[in-house]
Chain A
Amino acid sequence: MSENIFDPHVKDIAWCPGCGNFPIRKIMLEMLEELELDPVNTVMVSGIGQAAKSPQYIQANYFNGLHGRALPPATAMKAANPELTVIVESGDGDMYGEGGNHFLHAIRRNPDITAVVHNNMIYGLTKGQASPTTSKGMKTPVQINGVFLEPFNPLAAAIALDASFVARANALDQDKTKEIIKKAVQHKGFALVDVFQICVSFNKVNTAKWFKEHTYYLDEQHDTSDRSAAFSRAIEQDKLPLGIFYEQKNKPVFEESFPLYQKDKSPLFQRTLNKEALEKIAAEKTE
C-alpha cells in the first residue's frame, strides 16, 4: 500500500498501549484516504479527552477546542465554508455529558457534518469516573457504590429527535466500522456514529470480549428509513445492535437553509463588504 497522506507519522501518541482509540485512528486514516478527501479541505474537530486528541494524529486541518464543545464550532465552520468536509471526533463524556445540549441541538440543526463518538463508557483522561453511558452498577472511585443513573442512550435520543443519520459500530470490527463511517461522511446531513471502544486502563467491564458477546449486526431486513423500527432497535438492551439504524436522505441541511447560499455558493471568507447595503440602511435612518 502506498503512503497514507493523512498519516502524520507521530512518534509519541498519548494513548495507553492496547487502547481502543488506536483501531479507530486506523479506521479514520483509511476512511479519509479511501474517500479521496483532500487534507486541505478537511477539518477534524474535537473537544477534550483522550478520544479528542485524535485530530492531533491526523494530517489535516484541525480545531481541538474545549471539553464538550466540538459541535458548535464544527457547525459554524461548515456554515461559513460549505466546501469543507467537517468531521468531529470526541469521547462519550465530551459529546453526551458536557456537550449534551449541543448534541441535541446539532441534531435539530442538521449541519452536513459527521460526529464519530469514541464510546468507551468511561471518562478516560480524568482517570476512570462514570460517563453518561457507563452501565448501571459499575463502581468507580467516584461512584463508589456503583452507578445508579440510567445510562444515556445516544441512538434512541438521536432517532427521537429525527436525526438524519444514526449508526453504531464496534472499533474492533475494522472493516465493518470503516464502511459505516464512510457512509456517514458521505451522508448529507448530521451523521452520528457511536463507536464502541475499549478502555484497557479504566473500564474492566466493557472489554473486547464483552462487546463481542453483547453485540450483533442489524441484518438486511432492517429498513433504515423506518424511524419506529430504528427506535425499537435502538432501545434493545440484552444484545446491542450494530450498523446503520436510521437514515434520511433528503433532510434540509443547516447551511443550505440560509438564503445567502441560494444566491451565491462562495464561502463567506471570499466575500467583501457590501457598502451599498450599509449605505441603504443608513439612508433609511435619515427619513
Chain B
Amino acid sequence: MNRKQLVDEVSIVFSGAAGQGIQSIEMILTKLLKREGYHVFSTKEFMSRIRGGINSTCLRVSSERVNAPMEKADLFLPLIQDTTLHLQDKITEHTVIIGEQEVVQFDDMVDIPFSEIAKRCGNKIYSSSVAVGVIAGILDVSDSTIEKTFTKHFKGKDEKIIQENIQAAKEGIKESAKIQEHLEVDIEKDASVQDEMLISGTEAVAMGAVSANVRYVASYPMSPATGVLVKLAGWSEQTDCIIEQVEDEITVVNMALGAWYAGARAFVTTSGGGLALMSEGISLSGITEIPFVVHVAQRPGPGTGLPTRTEQGDLHLVLYSGHGDFPRIIYAPGTVEEAFYLTNRAFDLADRFQVPVFILTDQYFVDSLCNTPVWDLNKIVSENHFTETAQDYKRYAITESGVSPRGIPGFGKGLVKVDSDEHDEEGLITENLNETRKAMVEKRFFRKFNLVRKEVIEPDCFGNKDNELLVVSWGSTGNAVKHAFQLLESPPAGMHFSQVWPLPENIEDILSRYKRIAVVENNASAQFATLLKGYAGVPVAHNILKFTGLPFSQEEIAREIQSIQ
C-alpha cells in the first residue's frame, strides 16, 4: 500500500450480516460527520432476510454535495468475510481494508481488535462504536462532536451505557493513527452543513405528504415502500393523521378514494406488485375524477423479483395502469429535495385537476441518506380545492376548463353523486353515447390533459449544452449522471427529467437539437427511451441500461459515456 492523500472526499464501505449493526454505524456516523461540517451521502444494499447474509453501506464524506453511488472504496470495513464476493468491485489496490484479524482475513489489512477494545470499555457490543471512532479519527472529528452525537443518539438509554459507548469511540479514534500511515484525509469542512437536515428518500417523500396536509394513509407493507408508511405512522399523533394498514392493495386504493371523496387528503405507498393490484382503482379515480396520490418505490420484477433491490422497471406499469383513457401525472424525483417538493405538488395537482398522481422512486433512492438544506416552507402548498355546494350542484358539470368543481358530502346544500359507470353531469348512469359520453371524454380527458400539460416541470439541463451528444436521465439516476460528467474530460449535454409524464409540449424541439441521444436507465427494456421515441418521435441512439438490482455508480456511467463519445 502506498501512502495516499485524499482532500476532496473519501468513500467508506461497511459490510456485515443483517443484525450486526452496520445500520447503526451508518446512523451515528452520518449524524456525527454532518455535525462536524462534512457533506455526507450514504447508500445501502441489503438482502431480503432479517438475520445473516451480507449487506453493505457505502458512505461518501465530502467537502461538497456528492449524492451518487461510487464504485470504489477508499476505506473498506468488513465485519464478516464476504462469501458472495459481490463487494469485490469496490476493492482496488488503493483501498485500505480495516478489520479484526480474528473475524476477517484480507491481505494487507489494518488489524484493529474492535471486540477487544469494546470489551475493555465495558461490553463487546460496543464494537460498532469503536468502528465509528476509527472513522471519526481519520476525519478529525472533535471529542465534543462525539459526545454530543452519542448523547443524542442514545437518548433514553442508561447514562453508563452512553458513557461507555463514547469511551469506545474515543478508543477508536486512537486506533485511527494506524490507518493514517496508509491514507491521509484532509477534507475541507463546511460549517453551513451543520444546520442542514440529514434525510433519506423515504423521509423526504413522507414529509412531502405531511406538508400537503395528508390526513388519511391506507397501505399494505411492501419493500421498499414500507418506510414511508412507518414514518407517517410515527408522526401521526403530531400530524393528526389516520394510518390504517389494510388487507390488500385493492383496499388501499378504494379506501384512499373514499377518503378523498369525503374531503380528506389521502396518501398511499406501495411497490410494483401492490400497484398492479391497484390498477382498477386507479381507473376508478380516472372516471370518478376523485384525486389520488400514490408513492411507488420500485424494486426489480417480474413477480416478487428482488424485494430489497433497486430498479426503474415500473415506469410503463405506472404509465398504463388502469383501463380506459384518463390523464395522469408522474413525477420521478432525483434528489431528496425534489422528492419533498414534488410530493407536496402531487397533492396540489391531484386536488386541482382531480387526477391520479404518481411519485415514482426506487429502493436505491428511498434508502439513501444525505444532508440537505431545511425545506423552505414558503414553497409548499396545502390548500384544498373542493367547493361548498349549492342545492343544484352537479358533480360532473361540463366546464370549459375540463375541471368540474368538486363538492364533498356534507359541505353545502348539494348532493355529491359519483359513479364509475359513464354518467351525466349530475352523476347518473347514462348510455347517451353521441352526446354525453362524448362530452365527458372531451372534458375529463382532452381538456383536462391540456391543463395538466401546462403544469409540466421542464427537464433540468446541465453539462455542455452545445455538445452533439445528449445524455438523458430520469428519477434516481440523475445525480449519478451529473457526477459522472465531472469525471469526464469533455462532458456532453445532460438532461434530467423529474416529471416523466406528461412530457413537455415542445419535447421534440428540445431533443432534436442533438445529433445523438443516450438514455440512462436502471431497467432492461429502456422504458423511458421507448416513451421518448414513441411520444416525441426522436430516435434514441444509445441505451445505457443496468438491471442487476444495483444502482448505477458514477464511474460506471462515466465509462459508458466515454465509450459512445
- The complex places the Cα of A43 from the Cα of B384 at a distance, in Å, of 21
Contact at B259–A79, with CB atoms within 8 Å?
yes
Which B residue's beta carbon lies closest to that of A62? B417
Contact at A75–B258, with CB atoms within 8 Å?
yes
Contact at A277–B247, with CB atoms within 8 Å?
no
Taking the complex as formed, is B235 at the interface, i.e. its CB lies under 8 A from any CB of chain A? yes
> How close is A275's CB to chain B, nearest CB, in angstroms?
6
List of B residues within 8 angstroms of A102 by Cβ: 247, 250-251
Given contacts A59-B415, A102-B251, A285-B199, whether A269 and B263 have CB atoms under 8 Å apart is yes
Taking the complex as formed, is B181 at the interface, i.e. its CB lies under 8 A from any CB of chain A? no
**Of residues 42 to 69 in A, which have CB atoms within 8 Å of B's CB atoms?**
42-43, 45, 48, 53, 55-56, 59-66, 69
Contact at A43–B246, with CB atoms within 8 Å?
no
Taking the complex as formed, is B528 at the interface, i.e. its CB lies under 8 A from any CB of chain A? no
Which B residue's beta carbon lies closest to that of A47? B420
> How close is A76's CB to chain B, nearest CB, in angstroms?
3
Which A residue's beta carbon lies closest to that of B148? A287
B-binding segment of A127-135, A158-166, A187-195, A257-265: A257-265
Main secondary structure of the interface of B (DSSP, over half): mixed
List of A residues within 8 angstroms of B412 by Cβ: 40
Candidates B212, B416, B420; contact of A48 at CB < 8 Å: B420
What is the total of A-B residue contacts with beta carbons within 8 Å? 188
Taking the complex as formed, is B197 at the interface, i.e. its CB lies under 8 A from any CB of chain A? yes
- The complex places the Cα of A80 from the Cα of B263 at a distance, in Å, of 7
Contact at B428–A56, with CB atoms within 8 Å?
yes
- The complex places the Cα of A112 from the Cα of B410 at a distance, in Å, of 17
Fill in one digit per residue for B417-432: 1 if any A CB lies within 8 Å of its CB, else 0. 1111100000111000
Contact at A61–B409, with CB atoms within 8 Å?
yes
Measured as residues with beta carbon below 8 angstroms from the partner, the interface class of chain B is 35 or more
> How close is B429's CB to chain A, nearest CB, in angstroms?
6
Contact at B262–A76, with CB atoms within 8 Å?
yes
Contact at B262–A268, with CB atoms within 8 Å?
yes
> How close is B498's CB to chain A, nearest CB, in angstroms?
21
List of B residues within 8 angstroms of A271 by Cβ: 213, 215, 240
Contact at B255–A285, with CB atoms within 8 Å?
no
List of B residues within 8 angstroms of A64 by Cβ: 418-421, 429
> Which one of A40, A72, A75, A267 has the greatest number of beta carbons of chain B within 10 Å?
A72
Contact at B262–A77, with CB atoms within 8 Å?
yes
> How close is A34's CB to chain B, nearest CB, in angstroms?
20
Given contacts A80-B262, A80-B264, whether A268 and B207 have CB atoms under 8 Å apart is no
Given contacts A80-B262, A101-B247, whether A267 and B410 have CB atoms under 8 Å apart is yes
> Which one of B210, B258, B410, B427 has the greatest number of beta carbons of chain A within 10 Å?
B258
Taking the complex as formed, is A41 at the interface, i.e. its CB lies under 8 A from any CB of chain B? yes
Fill in one digit per residue for B214-240: 1 if any A CB lies within 8 Å of its CB, else 0. 011010000000000000000111111
Contact at B210–A281, with CB atoms within 8 Å?
yes
Contact at B258–A74, with CB atoms within 8 Å?
yes
Candidates A80, A279, A281; contact of B215 at CB < 8 Å: A80
- The complex places the Cα of A263 from the Cα of B239 at a distance, in Å, of 12
Candidates A59, A65, A281; contact of B207 at CB < 8 Å: A281
- The complex places the Cα of A126 from the Cα of B177 at a distance, in Å, of 78
Contact at B415–A60, with CB atoms within 8 Å?
yes
Taking the complex as formed, is A73 at the interface, i.e. its CB lies under 8 A from any CB of chain B? yes
Contact at B382–A273, with CB atoms within 8 Å?
yes
Contact at B409–A275, with CB atoms within 8 Å?
no
Contact at A279–B263, with CB atoms within 8 Å?
no
List of A residues within 8 angstroms of B236 by Cβ: 260
Chain A residues within 8 Å of B, Cβ to Cβ: 14, 39-43, 45, 48, 53, 55-56, 59-66, 69, 72-77, 79-81, 83-84, 101-102, 104-105, 258-260, 263-264, 267-269, 271-275, 277-282, 285-287
| Closest A-B pairs by Cβ, 6 of them | A269-B263, A73-B258, A76-B258, A268-B264, A285-B197, A72-B254
Chain B residues within 8 Å of A, Cβ to Cβ: 31, 152, 195-199, 203, 207, 210-213, 215-216, 218, 235-242, 244, 246-248, 250-251, 254-259, 261-264, 266, 280-281, 284, 288, 374-375, 377, 382, 384, 386, 408-421, 427-429
Would you mind naming 10 contact pairs between A and B with Cβ atoms under 8 Å apart? A61-B416, A62-B418, A73-B255, A80-B259, A267-B264, A271-B240, A273-B213, A274-B240, A277-B239, A285-B203
| Given A64-B420, A66-B281, A79-B259, 9 additional A-B pairs, CB 8 A | A14-B429, A42-B409, A43-B409, A65-B254, A81-B264, A102-B247, A260-B241, A277-B239, A286-B195
